[in-house]
Chains A and B, each alone.
Chain A
Amino acid sequence: MVLVIAEQRDGVLNNASWEALVAAQQMGRPVRVAVAGGDPGAVAAELAAADVESVLAVGHPELESYTPDGFVAAFAAVVADAAPDLVFLAHTYQTREFAPRLAARLGRSLVADCVGTRPRDGRLAFVRPMFQGKFVADVAPTGPAPHFVSFQIGAFRPDALKRGASPAPVREFAVTLEPGAIRQSAEAPFQEAKQAVDLTQAERIVAVGRGIKGQEHLSLVESLATALGAEVAASRPICDSGWLPMDRQIGSSGQTVAPKLYLALGISGAIQHLVGMKGSRTIVAVNKDAEAPIFEVADYGIVGDLFDVVPAIIAALDA
């Protein structure tokens, strides 16, 4: 059996949970889903629409707001009770925080951030990126079940979900939490002050990465942006270094954009960057490494030194 751990906040399911469910349905084994919260009944009922054996509503007042201690304790009890072969989760920030500890508590390990499954010689293996997306690896969990696997967001299509003919049974799963078991206390999530620049409205974006080497070279990128009538954006390290303000950052912890034209200059194409821009209509990549993962999402690619290529593009636009 595959146990899927779904994620919700304030009664709203995380969409990525449907993707983990699709991954589970494709294993050809019975699927059970569990979701935790203060009173997760409504979310559990929503999950019951999927073609699954049953849904567990793991409710407890202490689980109303997520904490790693609370979720590890609760799901350790759920997994021990359900005794699944596999435990699937979406690789969200919340999963990254509690799932490795949950697996470790049960003496197991988590195969994280997988993009697919791949049986090999009778062994179950999962495909996961390594070296910032330059390679992928087939990784097999070792030791006895259950094996824990998390899937990268977007690796499975939520619309491939099989729905049940009638709603699956929902069961309440009672957890006991020792007093003092939860050491973290969480405040309400918040957003920083409104972004000064709204890149989502830009028609064209020239984005720069660490290939630019130094802040003093940014004027080159700005000249190209001006010539194209584009906004300047960046990968995270450029903003981390303070070379450009944070509100110019594209990616999972920055803005998500889909302009008509996205030029990526000296950006390697790590998944956290790609999720913020791969919906762009036309993507151009300039990178001196012919194997940089950015070329996998690019429509046009130039392998070369951006310090040669960018001035040449500016000149060609002028001609």
Chain B
Amino acid sequence: MKIAVCVKQVVTREWPLRVDEARTWVQDRDASFEMNEPDAYALEEALRLKEGHGGEVVVCSAGPPRAAQVVREALARGADRAIRVEGDGLAAADASMVAGALAAAIRDEGFDLVLTGLQSDDQGFAQTGVVLAELLGIPHATIIMEVQAADGRLRVKRELEGGWFQWVSMPTPALLTIQSGINQLRYATLKGIMAAKRKEVRVVEAAADLAPGQEILEIRVPEKTKQTRMIDGSPADAAAELVKALREEARAI
């Protein structure tokens, strides 16, 4: 099975983010970056499918040059080769633009299966994979927690709300968006890191005719809606104060 996995580079969760001067994006010039979490699960699922069925795993990422970092990481974890779509405007682009950039770069590869994460940690559109499926003209299913593949068909377990699930079948080629927790992740080994250096990375310029479908006018910290009593002081003082408040004020203990 020839499998593409789309991975996005995002700012590390622990990075203290600030809004930038234009108030339309965050200050990320000096930030540290990592692979979007569900994408790591999508990559792991692709590697497992390859182990079971043979074939190839190709990691695809669209972004500014710094995105090379997550591509290297994916290759170190076991992907066979990479396609990196480069464009500075892709860092804060909307899902239509990113999907357009990815579609142009992978259309001719003829992948049997395209995997993406279900949602990005930064923009959180939850759309890039779904739009990519439309652009590629292949069926899709989202929020997938198990993948069975046989004879050119997929049977996948979709997560629904409130603890419900559903099995859905479709022919390949197809696109699936993968939910975190579908498998247990493996991490890169030293051998993998060394091997990654020799793997092929095809770098392509983002198509010039990509048009956004939405525009960020302003980013800000959300207004507080609840009166929160912040308790300061040393851990011991704060803890004593909290316990007192829970006993006497809230009567919760």
Contacts and interface: CB of A to CB of B under 8 A. Distances in A.
Interface in A204-251: 204, 210, 228-229, 236-237, 239-242
Contact of A299 (B19, B212, B229): B229
Given A135-B26, A237-B180, A297-B226, A184 B169 contact: yes
A179 interface: no
A104 B215 contact: no
Nearest to B154: A184
A48 interface: no
Nearest to A153: B161
Contact of A100 (B127, B211, B212, B217): B127
B220 interface: yes
B96 A312 contact: no
Nearest to A141: B214
Nearest to B129: A100
Interface SS of B by simple majority: mixed
B167 interface: yes
A142 B213 contact: yes
A315 B236 contact: yes
Interface residues of A, number: 93
Interface stretch (B61-69, B74-82, B107-115, B116-124): B116-124
A142 B215 contact: yes
Contacts of A97: 130, 140-143
Contacts of B221: 134-136, 291
Given A228-B253, A237-B180, A296 B226 contact: yes
Contacts of A104: 96, 99, 130-131, 134-135
Contacts of B229: 299-301
Given A135-B19, A296-B224, A305-B235, 8 more contacts: A92-B161, A103-B213, A105-B134, A109-B213, A139-B214, A183-B171, A192-B165, A252-B162
Interface of B: 11, 13, 16-17, 19, 26, 37, 94-96, 99, 121-127, 130-131, 133-135, 139-143, 159-171, 174, 180-181, 184, 211-222, 224-232, 235-236, 238-240, 242-243, 245-246, 250, 252-253
